[in-house]
């Protein structure tokens, strides 16, 4: 068993290493699921077989020792070199290969359940959601608001509350579902979303947008126009870059399902959101690769609702909730 366990642990380590160096596309949900299953099997084997077996060996050792002492006492020998208890301790002690599997199962199980059904941590990798979220923010994603989903296969098992306009949502990137993306929900099923000349309109109604103090982008070392937007009752800030055009070139637009629902022009884009899909945009409107480029997010790709910054090692003042 020690050799088999070594192979299993080496396989896990090899996969993680290949993922780290970019040799394979990692899937943390699958990795955590497999780790839970494997350590769970070892935990059951430990409880039902290995631990009772070690205890029987220890009891047999104690019985043999007691029999020897009784025989020596019968012969009148009272001063004997008795066992100090360390032999039994060594017999009952868990071997390393069980310590690294069955011993880790409770911790891995708790992490698996929390991450799969309650909250998942997520790191903001870019500035597409500035000024709401900054690069390096570590956030929590609510996994149950939009309905519980089975890990790995992402199949919904409870309905929950549908995503609403203004929600900040994490989802599987449609062109590459192995990647997680974060954007703001702008259009829900049935909406007609228009973003023309950097003005957002939903179902013919302009979204409230008021000028705010300029935002200083520390990465680019420049100021950007900042606005306060009220989308679905959620008041948040957005950025506009006056040096960027409103429309998209044909080369920038990817092929995507239901592309016929969108009309592109030099002014921007107008899209009709199909059933079971959502139109997503970043708060950094002119520096966000979002639904304008790659289309709609299907319900099956939803991961959860982002709601809290729990850490930013470069700026502790970032900790807190957001809209």
Domains of the chain: residue spans and CATH: 2-113 (no CATH), 121-321 (2.10.109.10)
* pLDDT for 80: 59
Q: Are 114 and 143 in contact (CB under 8 A)?
A: no
Strand order in 192-196's β-sheet? 205-206, 199-202, 192-196, 268-272, 262-265
Q: Identify the CA nearest to 296 among candidates 123, 172, 204, 137.
A: 172
* pLDDT for 186: 98
Please, what's the b/e burial string for 264-293 (b: 16 or more CB within 10 A of its CB; e: otherwise)? beeebbbbbbbeebbbbbbbbbbbbbbbbe
Q: CB-based burial of residue 308 (10 Å sphere; 0-12 exposed, 13-18 middle, 19+ buried)?
A: middle
* pLDDT for 81: 60
Find residue 302's DSSP bridge partners: 171
Instruction: Give the active site residues.
Output: 128, 183
* pLDDT for 85: 65
CA 122/CA 44 separation, integer angstroms: 32
pLDDT in tens, the chain (323 residues): 888 899 988 998 898 898 888 888 788 888 999 999 999 999 999 899 988 988 888 878 778 877 877 777 777 776 656 555 677 778 888 888 989 999 999 999 999 999 999 999 999 989 999 999 999 999 999 999 999 998 888 888 998 999 999 999 999 999 999 899 999 999 999 999 999 999 999 999 999 999 999 999 887 788 999 999 999 899 999 999 988 888 898 899 999 999 999 999 999 999 999 999 999 999 999 999 999 999 999 999 999 999 999 999 888 889 999 98
CB proximity list for 55: less than 8 A, separation 6 or greater: 92
* pLDDT for 78: 66
CB atoms within 10 A of CB 36: 20
Q: CB-based burial of residue 297 (10 Å sphere; 0-12 exposed, 13-18 middle, 19+ buried)?
A: buried
CB atoms within 10 A of CB 250: 6
CA 66/CA 60 separation, integer angstroms: 10
**Which DSSP symbol is given to 49?**
I
Q: Identify the CA nearest to 231 among candidates 198, 262, 204, 209.
A: 209
Q: Are 105 and 67 in contact (CB under 8 A)?
A: no
* pLDDT for 262: 96
Angle ∠(260,264,265) on CA atoms, nearest 5: 155
Give the global pTM. 0.85
């Amino acid at each position: 068993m020690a050799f088999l366990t070594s192979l299993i642990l080496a396989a896990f380590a090899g996969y993680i290493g290949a993922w780290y160096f970019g040799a394979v596309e990692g899937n943390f949900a699958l990795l955590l699921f497999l780790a839970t299953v494997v350590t769970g099997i070892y935990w059951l084997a430990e409880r039902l077989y290995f631990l009772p077996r070690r205890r029987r060996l220890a009891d047999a050792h104690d019985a043999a020792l007691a029999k020897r002492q009784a025989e020596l006492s019968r012969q009148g020998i009272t001063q004997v070199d008795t066992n100090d208890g360390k032999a039994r301790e060594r017999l009952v002690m868990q071997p390393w290969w069980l310590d690294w599997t069955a011993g880790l199962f409770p911790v891995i199980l708790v992490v698996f359940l929390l991450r799969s059904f309650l909250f998942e941590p997520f790191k903001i990798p870019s500035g597409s959601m500035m000024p709401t979220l900054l690069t390096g923010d570590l956030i929590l994603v609510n996994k149950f608001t939009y309905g519980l989903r089975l890990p790995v296969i992402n199949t919904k098992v409870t309905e929950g509350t549908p995503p609403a306009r203004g929600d900040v949502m994490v989802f599987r990137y449609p062109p590459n579902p192995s990647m997680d993306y974060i954007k703001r929900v702008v259009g829900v099923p049935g909406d007609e979303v228009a973003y023309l000349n950097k003005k957002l309109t939903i179902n013919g109604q302009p979204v409230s947008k008021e000028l705010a103090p300029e935002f200083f982008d520390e990465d680019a070392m420049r100021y950007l126009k900042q606005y306060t937007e009220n989308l679905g009752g959620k008041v948040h800030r957005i950025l506009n870059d006056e040096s960027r055009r409103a429309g998209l070139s044909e080369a920038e637009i990817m092929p995507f399902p239901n592309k016929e629902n969108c009309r592109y022009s030099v002014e921007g884009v107008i899209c009709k959101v199909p059933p079971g899909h959502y139109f997503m945009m970043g708060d950094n409107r002119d520096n966000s690769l979002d639904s304008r480029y790659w289309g709609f997010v299907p319900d099956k790709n939803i991961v959860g609702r982002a709601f809290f910054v729990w850490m930013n090692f470069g700026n502790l003042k970032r900790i807190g909730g957001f809209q």
